[in-house]
Every structure is written in C-alpha cells, then in structure tokens.
Amino acid sequence: MAAIIDFRIDDVVRLRKPHPCGGYDWTVYRLGADIGLQCRTCGHYVMLPRATLERRLKRFVERGPAPEGHDSREQVAD
C-alpha cells in the first residue's frame, strides 16, 4: 500500500491532464477527505477525492508553508 501524500494549503500541483481552459497547475485551498483545488489559469474551483488527486498528481510545482508547530526533524517519543 502506498503512503499518503502530504498535501498542504497553498501547494501548487501539476496534474496529468489539462483543465478544459488549457491549464495544468492548480492551487490547493481545502484539505480533508476531499481536496479543494483552484485552477491557476481560469480560477475554476473543483473538489476531488484524495485518492483521485493522488493518482492524477504529476508533481508539486511549489509547496505551501508547513503547518504551525510542525517541525520535520521532530521525533515522536515511544
């Protein structure tokens, strides 16, 4: 089973197929079971299930800021 991809608010992602307007890049504006995206070309909003977005994701163009209080070097105590 593949690991869950860590999406963040304000991530810019590139999907495999273009939006009808011709744009490939989307900004993440909502997180949850469904992820909200806004087309960077025409401004259209869509909601995609997380699993669908993970399949369609080609790459991250730009990463959003890390959540507050989150340190990637922080270790969890047993």
Mean pLDDT of 57-72: 83
Specify the pLDDT at position 27. Answer: 97
Query: Whole-angstrom Cα distance, residue 11 to residue 40?
Result: 11
Which of 47, 45, 36, 42 lies closest to 21, judged by CA? 42
Report domain extents, the chain: 12-62
Q: Which two tokens stand for residue 4?
A: 């869950």
Specify the pLDDT at position 46. Answer: 96
Which DSSP helix (H) or strand (E) runs through 38?
strand 34-39
Quote the pTM value.
0.80
CB 38 within 8 A of CB 29: yes
Q: What are the backbone angles phi and psi of residue 26, rounded to the nearest 5°?
A: -135, 150
Determine the 3-state secondary structure of 51 from DSSP. Answer: helix
Q: Is the pLDDT of residue 71 over 70?
A: no
